[in-house]
Chains A and B, each alone.
Chain A
Amino acid sequence: MTILNKKFTKAALVAVLAGATALTAFSASAAKHPVTGEELAADQTYTYRMLDGIPSLDPQIVEDVTGSEIIRDLFEGLLNQDAKGNLVPGVAMSWEPSEGNTVWTFKLRDNAKWSNGDSVTANDFVYAWRRAVDPKTASPYSWYMDIMSITNGADIIAGKKQPSELGVEAVDDYTFKVTLTKALPYFADMTAHSTTFPTHQATVEKFGEKWTQPENMVGNGAYKLTEWKIKETTTRVRSESYWNNDASILEKVVTLVIPDENVALTRYKAGEMDRTAVPAGQYPELLKELPKETLKFPRLCTYYYVFNVSDSAPEAFKNVDVRYALSYALDRNIIVEKVTKGGQIPAYTFTPAATAGFEVPTVDYGTWTQSERDAKAVKLLDGAGFNKENPLKFTLLYNTSEGHKKIATVAAQLWKSKLGAEVTLANQEWKTFLETRNNQNFEIARSGWCGDYNEASTFLDLFDSKHGNNDGLYASDAYDAEVRAASSSSNAAAHYKKAEEILAADMPLIPVYHYTGVVMLKETLKGYPIENVMLKTYSRNMYKVAK
């Protein structure tokens, strides 16, 4: 009974508090947006759905997109992105490359504060970056620091050098200098990624792994964490200590973990959330039902089938004509229009066209009509010795999921009807699948890849013969030369274009489609950056208008 009473008291308290907050908020309800002049809603709480609980809120450890979305509010890195994906100052007010893009100097603002009142200085970045590569931290994303090419980064991760030898330096409290092993023209873009965000040394050292708990966390972002229940909810509220707090409008951001996308949609419709995902295949219907709330935008992700071209590959796949035939005969339009139905873009290159500075090369087969491709495919396969009498036989492997199954079924059907190929579909549970694919125990396997930063190398590096995710073990000296030259070239686009042409000529993969993001967004929520292909959201740039 006492427990019950306590609960009631608590509930009553919460109700009173909520009422009081609502009242104070109401008194300010005449507020207008300082720039657009729109009338702002009294309740500036933004609630959105997450698919699953976030594994970590530690900037150096986080791997997933949803975790990073929260971390961008709780911490601020050197640079941010605006609504269109352009770089804008974060803690750094200016940045400058020197010595042919191998040394980067960032000038930090002197008014950036941690939530405990300490100043954010260059030393905090030095600490965080060393921490990211320190084997003791065992960050699953430490490889990101490696591809940033920071001096000694790779050796520190491999345990051959000390973290203190990393090529970062606090020249003074507000000057942060990074030295690279090679010229990287897009280095600044990479600092908008959460792995590079600063962390508060004293807090991390005091609390160990528990430092990210709401009661312990010290951050430097526009919001601070007040609640985190794994697989249930997180809450973040405006941080008074943020240097630009006056410009924030949203008071509170709440995430709800709802694994089932249809349940999430129901609750969105019931008004419990401002944002949720469009359930698979329902985009056309929802667009009709709620045209103003159903949004679509390009994303930097590619869905593809990868050929095993390693020594263990089936003989047939070592013949490029067979790979051509399968790629040509796969009608991408049927897949995006009849199966995925989310406005995905048929893919003929690996890199999505939306990638910054990427000029899509005209790969021939992308310009043909489907019947031209089909005719070519039949001829090529026939030339390779496969036809209806002697059918090509292979297994298509995907990880267990309804969505992948539908696509694989249609692909197999297309190959059968056009080429007479006999395709066996095989599916494996996720972790088993990853191991199988990584060990080349497959013939053709489903794959997907999303860019880590907005530059073509985040895609094209994958088919470098040395890359750990080059699951088919494609190896081409010409290709390696192009992608490696691109990173330090003043005309990277030309190299990327060439690299894509080599991919189309060697066909180690079948690009299927480039992803689109589809999302349900309440009309009252403004500032959600759908024009930013990396979808780097910052809650302080969003606001809710009155209905």
Chain B
Amino acid sequence: MFLFIVKRFASTIPTILILMIISFVLMRLAPGSPFSGEKMPPPEVLANLEAKYGLDQPWFIQMWRYITKIIFHFDFGPSFVYKDISVNDIIDQGLPITFIYGSWSFLVANLVGIPLGMIAAIRHNTWIDYMAIGVSIGAAVLPNFIMAPILIIIFTLWLDWLPGGGWNNGAWPNVIMPVIALSTSYMAIIARLTRGSMLEVLNSNFIRTAKAKGLSSTTVIFRHALRPTLLPVLSYLGPAFVGMVTGSLVIDSIFVTGGIGQFFIQAAFSRDYSLLMGITILLGAVTVLFSTIVDILYAVLDPKIKL
């Protein structure tokens, strides 16, 4: 088991290195400059900017400097756009925020989604089932860029219960709407996965045996059906968790949380090379890390997987 875990983690290192190299090359292939604008700076000014940010060097030297700085100093360099701060500063500010509302969303999505799916499966083909499915289909198709402004209109403009945005150091009134807007579609998918998986489990032979032994339905469901039900859900939870804690452009830009999600896309548009690289590597590492964790959990939960 220990060896499996070590091996699994070791295999992530080349993945991340390859990610670094590919994203660096792709980014430099994109046309445009971080310093261009409606008012183009004159060539002399551009040259000074390029010298300051090391862009006057050949690309392989830039890449070597960049990657060694990350590995040996954990330094992602200065942001090309936010000139007063470094990429590390941006990550320091944005990542904890995203992690907090992402974790809450993950919790809410699971705490609502799994029971909803279970109830729908247990009460298969009753009004409860239809309602749960209806709600989750609705929630899955309602995009959060529509939902978020609607939440603000209801809770801020009409009811005046919650602030329309801002992070305010994570005060709970500021966290509620981002969590609702982010968790809803994940919740819907989790509910439907749980329902489908549970239906299949409930119809399998070992459950029939358990029922035949005269066990109560609660025991059947919680002791026998729950674990196999959650296995397919678990494989979705890894990417879902990564998706939530790495943030969302929509949530960050509509609720003004200051999270990391919005920087990712904007960095690409503004050709903020170091910021884009920094976030890509960070998100890549988080993704690889959590899929590894899910793999390990899977091995623990599923007796069919031999280590």
Contacts and interface: CB of A to CB of B under 8 A. Distances in A.
Interface size of B as a range: 35 or more
B156 interface: yes
Which one of A55, A63, A233 has the greatest number of beta carbons of chain B within 10 Å?
A55
Interface string A220-249: 000000000111110000000000000000
B51 A135 contact: yes
Interface in A129-153: 135-136, 138-140, 142-143, 146
Of the candidates B42, B78, B167, B263, the one having the most CB atoms from chain A within 10 angstroms of its own CB is B42
Contacts of A158: 44
Interface string B145-187: 0001100110011001001111101110000000000000000
Contact of A58 (B83, B262, B269): B83
Contacts of B269: 429-431
A126 B243 CA distance: 51
A266 B152 contact: yes
Contacts of A7: 169-171
Interface string A309-352: 00000000000000000000000000000000000000000000
A154 B269 CA distance: 31
A259 interface: yes
A436 B40 CA distance: 12
Contacts of B49: 138, 140
B44 A157 contact: yes
Contact of B271 (A146, A210, A431): A431
A431 B83 CA distance: 18
Contacts of B165: 256, 258, 263, 267
Contacts of B263: 231
B257 A267 contact: no
A260 B253 contact: yes
A434 B37 contact: yes
B143 interface: no
A267 B152 contact: yes
Contacts of A136: 48, 52
Contact of B48 (A142, A449, A468): A142
Contacts of B41: 140, 143, 468
A136 B53 CA distance: 11
Given A56-B82, A157-B45, A230 B258 contact: yes
A449 B156 contact: no
Interface string B21-64: 00000000011110111111111110011011100000000000
B177 to A, nearest CB: 11
B32 A431 contact: yes
Contacts of A142: 45, 48
A449 B38 contact: yes
Pick the most buried of B30, B93, B157, B262: most chain A CB atoms within 10 A of its CB.
B157
A461 to B, nearest CB: 12
Nearest to B149: A263
Contacts of A53: 82
A469 B43 CA distance: 11
A53 B170 CA distance: 19
B37 A263 contact: no
Contacts of B256: 231-233, 256-258
A209 B78 contact: yes
B103 interface: no
A154 to B, nearest CB: 8
A226 to B, nearest CB: 14
